[in-house]
Amino acid sequence: MGRGRWQHMAAEELQQQYSPSRWARRLRGDAAVQAHIEAVTAGTQRARASTRTALHVPYGEGDGERLDLYLPEEPSDTFPAFVYIHGGYWQSLRGIYLCGHSAGAHLAAMVLCTDWTEFGVVPDIRGAVLVSGVYDLEPILHTYVNDALNMSREVAQRNSPMLCVTQAVPAACEVLVAVAQHDSPEFRRQSQEYSQALRSAGWAVSLLDLASVDHFDIIEKLSEDTYILTQIILNMIARA
């Protein structure tokens, strides 16, 4: 299924392809979304109860421009920073590591293709984990998602990581693109094609196709120590 394959889909099929809750196997529709919200909320509460935190730290002037920081129990001048960007279609140090899920994976991918020298900084990003992401926004224009975003074709193309992959530099970070067995065919296609685009540009990239999970529990299971994606992330950080 090539990048132009979506252009031959009817609007109704695109709606379905880019509605992850329709592909969940455990629950369907709103029930799948609600269960995901409850799972990640419970995980957040456990994390806040077990470590030091600094919550709702502003990084901009907007109401939604806030960070929650989870800090090691023992103070240290050198510890890795792991930045997680949640999904929701953009609505809902020493060694920085990025992890993004769904629309959050898109934002993390945009970080990788940004020329940070224009802003006078060079972030030391050692690794990026992109989970069930969307990397080409143009198909989204024809779905319910764009009702709120109101993107034009030009905006969608300008903000599509698939279309702004840069040639890897010698210090380019390690990238893991993960996708769920029960993600929609379009989400799976996008993950496969984006990982190939990175590889063609010289990036160190791996594609991980995770069996028996869907768009939601692929990320929920990160709270499990024995989960393969948890182990891969910990090993990525340990290798730095």
What's the CATH fold of domain 3-239? Rossmann fold (3.40.50)
Q: What is the pLDDT of residues 63-84, one digit of tens each?
A: 777 888 878 777 777 767 778 7
- Active-site positions read 102, 183, 215
pLDDT value of residue 4? 66
pLDDT value of residue 160? 97
List the alpha helices (DSSP H) in the chain. 11-17, 30-50, 103-112, 145-149, 153-158, 185-200, 217-220, 228-239
Q: What is the pLDDT of residues 35-54, one digit of tens each?
A: 888 887 888 788 788 888 88
Q: Are 176 and 128 in contact (CB under 8 A)?
A: yes
What pTM was computed for the model? 0.76
